[in-house]
Amino acid sequence: MSVIKSNEIYSPQNYCDSFFGACPVFSGNQNELRSLLDENGHTDLRDFPFDEIESIVKNKIPVVLVDTTYINDNGKMVFEHRWFEVPDQNLHFEIGDILENTIIGIEDWDGEKSIHYYAYSYCSDNGAPDSFRFVEYTYFIETLAKALQYGIKQYESDHQEEVKQYVEDCTEDELVRFYKHYDKGETPVHIRVSEITMETPFGMYILEG
């Protein structure tokens, strides 16, 4: 499946109208479009120079091409095109879909199917904009068979203090972005605890329930 979601070259206005249902009027400078996205809560959507298409394809980032040509302070036309990420409705989720949910990987470690606990999150409830916490574990790994027998969530709860953890303060938007792009730029698949078995495919997941 192509990461370039349209053969059309969008104006900044049409890009906003097509994906967000709004059609603001502005000069077209990419900095202005970037600011508009950030101000309206779309900080998770990235933009890239035209010549970074190889990296975009490698990381499977869904994009469209936007014409950000503008007139500079000297009155000269500056021709520019940039790739802007588009929201994937199948991967859209709110803070309630991720908060306190653990990111795990089902992986092969030393020839055994294992569960790798990567990270989780919580809210400190202190009222500050950066009251969310994203916590990453360091090498928190167990065989899947043992974790299933023990209980996937119970194993995490009982053993998480045995591994080093790194805590990052973040805003709600930043936390959503951490989860959304955690799997090498892609979003881990949502899975319920009850759905995990020895037959669960290798991959990265957001653990629910």
Reply yes or no on whether the pLDDT at 108 is more than 70.
yes
Listed range (33-47, 84-98, 128-142) with the worst mean pLDDT: 84-98
Strands 63-67 vs 4-10: parallel, antiparallel or unpaired? parallel
Residue at token pair 């043992």: 146
pTM of the model as a whole: 0.59
| Closest by Cα among 109, 188, 115, 123 to 152 | 115
3-state SS, 5-42, equals EEEEEECHHHHHHHHHCCCCCCCCCHHHHHHHHHHCCC
Phi-psi region of 84 (alpha: psi -120 to 50; beta: other; left: phi over 0): beta
Residue at token pair 């045995």: 162
Reply yes or no on whether the pLDDT at 60 is more than 90.
no
Cβ atoms < 10 Å from Cβ of 169: 14
Residue at token pair 């021709």: 79
pLDDT in tens, 116-149: 999 999 998 766 778 899 999 999 999 999 999 9
CB 204 within 8 A of CB 182: yes
pLDDT in tens, 149-185: 999 999 999 999 999 999 999 888 788 888 888 888 7
Tell me what the mean pLDDT of segment 87-94 comes to: 54
Q: What is the pLDDT of residue 26?
A: 62
CB 109 within 8 A of CB 124: no
Q: What is the pLDDT of residue 71?
A: 83
